[in-house]
A and B are shown apart, each in its own frame.
Chain A
């Protein structure tokens, strides 16, 4: 799960849930299945910050929970 990754982690998006409109919005901001992302910040409450395709995107916790990402190294 994206919401569970610690800051600094690199990951690849495996699945985007939450309906078509939500997935479409993320897609237009650069996040689709297969995208590489970097977790810039993630604290237990509050929103998280990721970087994908040179874009810093802030995601609410509820939104981050809908994205399935697999951690990779390097």
Chain B
């Protein structure tokens, strides 16, 4: 093998969704990955390097797309990468269990000027479904290298890389079979190509542009219009208009071609054989059983999360953060304000937020486990009918569900929703999902205020959040986002055993994102709030924050909340769990080290406590969530809309809660 010095080989990793592409990407690049965004887009761009037999490869993971027609951002990104960055080779991964549909993408890729290696993954899953594929027969038919793989066991990956490197070094040898357009439109295509003449600038191949025009691709149509003088464009446009049916013919022609390619190589299962997926789906997507199963999964995820992680969180909070802060406050040979800055601003704010890492990690790990089996797509399917009342569909369920762990990944997770209106609505609704931090506040404070009634009150308040979410969703659907129904089309992948590697990577990526946020935005915000509460001194009551609390006390009257509760509520803006830390400082439990619960139960009436909890549960999104909302919507106005909405809803609900509480005689402290 000739060792090429200098530039590494650029490999584009393409494939449809649910083919195990990320598993292969992770196997190839390990931890040598870089995650960024595609220029100007909110779609993740992952690339990494790997060295194989002394050859360095730079692997770019393209978004998983079913086709290369510019219907979605992902599809546009995938094809722009191939056209403009000209990778040396494209490795396409196909799912053996749905080979025909997967080869549709290959049929599209083959129209682009790039050599391709085909990897057929999940051979084991296909075999379990009774599908057998002979790679060498398919390879002979297609005239290209086909590697059979089981990526979950790392089988075939090494061969795939070797073949990709070999092809990249000798691209002239790539001469595969290519799909042809149906006879009915062959002349039309030739005409179109003729009309385009040499108006098509590089890097676009003219033949491909003609084909895409005939398919009605919007982006290419606009480009071609800009390339051609008006007179010529009118001719092209007239020709296209006369053959609007060509798209179906092209798609149909591709499947016909695929059918010929796989005929000899693929053995389909006998009819009437019932696979494992069918058997499981009989219950998992059933309108009634499906809901029951979802409920059980739901409880399992939360049960596991809080059983496993809550003790660790408590331990971190009490042993590590609290004692660390005590040491910082007294044991440090530094000016007093600096010790306070480290102890309260850094450790008390960002440090406390970090203690929630175990909760998040367990939540994400359990979620990754379900995701990797293919179950979550079923959950989205089952929930679809309910999401429709809010003008959303099943796909919005998953990001909202993530919100129970943390609203930040929920907002980021809305990327799976194609339609912008539905995505915006989901982003606006996401902060209403009670995140683990708010649930922790709830779990800590309800026993304080309500004693033996703690559990029903806590469940009631969490349900209130979901009820408000649904109500606002329905209301927005009938007003702001009126009539923007988005199509629900989703693949339900085959069930398969989850692999530890995928779960670990999912966990690692989400954890890293959270740590980055905690180290930057959350840290800065904690310091800012600390400064507002520390200066100009001498104590919190006289600080800027305290003064703000006093200024708001007329409002507090309505809510039954004094300035301390108001300030605690405001401080939850940094991070929801700060409400507890702030109460600790404000009610002076810091010195005695404990007893916040006792102090609160004596000094705050249950009605005021109810109002405080209601407001905290529904209060404006935390700083980190706001930051990602800005990033994902690209505009401040949606973020401001969300803040205004939640501010109004939370205060309104808190007033009602307080007044109801008083009516029921909760207006006096129970000592």
As a 0/1 sequence over residues 267 to 299 of chain B, the CB contacts with chain A under 8 angstroms (1 = contact) are 000000000011001000111000000000000
Within 8 A of A (CB), among B80-110: 97-101, 104-105
Interface of A is mostly: mixed
Given contacts A32-B251, A40-B281, A57-B490, whether A46 and B385 have CB atoms under 8 Å apart is yes
Within 8 A of B (CB), among A17-54: 18, 20-30, 32-35, 40-41, 43, 45-47, 49, 52-54
Chain A residues closer than 8 Å to B385, beta-carbon distance? 45-47
Contact B384 A28 (CB under 8 A): no
Contact B66 A29 (CB under 8 A): yes
Contact A56 B67 (CB under 8 A): no
Contact B104 A28 (CB under 8 A): yes
The yes or no answer to B606 lying at the interface (CB within 8 A) is: no
The yes or no answer to A63 lying at the interface (CB within 8 A) is: yes
Contact B101 A30 (CB under 8 A): yes
Cα A21 to Cα B70 in complex, Å, equals 9
Contact A30 B487 (CB under 8 A): no
Contact B66 A25 (CB under 8 A): yes
The yes or no answer to B252 lying at the interface (CB within 8 A) is: yes
Given contacts A46-B384, A56-B491, whether A30 and B100 have CB atoms under 8 Å apart is yes
Whose C-beta in chain A lies nearest to the C-beta of B418? A25
Contact B97 A58 (CB under 8 A): no
The yes or no answer to A2 lying at the interface (CB within 8 A) is: no
Given contacts A47-B381, A47-B394, A54-B100, whether A25 and B71 have CB atoms under 8 Å apart is yes
Chain B residues closer than 8 Å to A62, beta-carbon distance? 485, 487-488
The yes or no answer to B577 lying at the interface (CB within 8 A) is: no
Contact A43 B287 (CB under 8 A): yes
Whose C-beta in chain B lies nearest to the C-beta of A59? B489
Cα A46 to Cα B388 in complex, Å, equals 8
The yes or no answer to A16 lying at the interface (CB within 8 A) is: yes
Given contacts A24-B69, A47-B381, A55-B98, whether A63 and B488 have CB atoms under 8 Å apart is yes
As a 0/1 sequence over residues 231 to 271 of chain B, the CB contacts with chain A under 8 angstroms (1 = contact) are 00000000000001001100110010000000000000000
Contact B492 A56 (CB under 8 A): yes
Contact B248 A16 (CB under 8 A): yes
By the criterion of a CB under 8 Å from any partner CB, how many residues of chain B are at the interface? 46
Chain A residues closer than 8 Å to B104, beta-carbon distance? 27-28, 30
- A54 touches which one: B98, B251, B384 (CB < 8 A)? B98
Cα A28 to Cα B65 in complex, Å, equals 9
Contact A20 B488 (CB under 8 A): no
Chain B residues closer than 8 Å to A33, beta-carbon distance? 248, 252
Whose C-beta in chain B lies nearest to the C-beta of A22? B487
Contact B384 A32 (CB under 8 A): no
Chain B residues closer than 8 Å to A54, beta-carbon distance? 97-101, 129, 131
Chain A residues closer than 8 Å to B384, beta-carbon distance? 46-47, 58, 60
Chain B residues closer than 8 Å to A45, beta-carbon distance? 385
Contact A20 B489 (CB under 8 A): no
Cα A44 to Cα B633 in complex, Å, equals 36
Contact B281 A56 (CB under 8 A): yes
- A24 touches which one: B67, B285, B488 (CB < 8 A)? B67
Contact A24 B281 (CB under 8 A): no
CB distance from B131 to the nearest CB of A (A): 7
Chain B residues closer than 8 Å to A63, beta-carbon distance? 487-489
Contact A57 B489 (CB under 8 A): yes
The yes or no answer to B216 lying at the interface (CB within 8 A) is: yes
Whose C-beta in chain B lies nearest to the C-beta of A34? B252
The yes or no answer to B215 lying at the interface (CB within 8 A) is: yes
Cα A26 to Cα B101 in complex, Å, equals 11
The yes or no answer to B58 lying at the interface (CB within 8 A) is: no
Given contacts A27-B67, A32-B252, A54-B131, whether A20 and B491 have CB atoms under 8 Å apart is no
The yes or no answer to B393 lying at the interface (CB within 8 A) is: yes
Given contacts A30-B104, A54-B98, A55-B101, whether A24 and B215 have CB atoms under 8 Å apart is yes
Contact A27 B251 (CB under 8 A): yes
Whose C-beta in chain B lies nearest to the C-beta of A16? B248
- A53 touches which one: B101, B218, B494 (CB < 8 A)? B101
- B488 touches which one: A23, A30, A40, A59 (CB < 8 A)? A59
Q: A29-B66, A62-B485 provided; 18 other pairs, C-beta below 8 A? A: A23-B251, A24-B69, A24-B215, A25-B487, A27-B67, A27-B247, A30-B100, A32-B255, A33-B248, A34-B255, A47-B384, A54-B131, A55-B98, A56-B277, A56-B492, A58-B394, A60-B487, A60-B488
12 contacts between A and B (CB under 8 A): A18-B487, A23-B247, A24-B67, A24-B69, A27-B248, A28-B66, A30-B98, A32-B255, A49-B381, A53-B255, A54-B97, A55-B491
The 6 A-B pairs with the shortest beta carbon distances in the complex, nearest first, are A60-B488, A28-B67, A46-B385, A28-B66, A27-B251, A30-B101
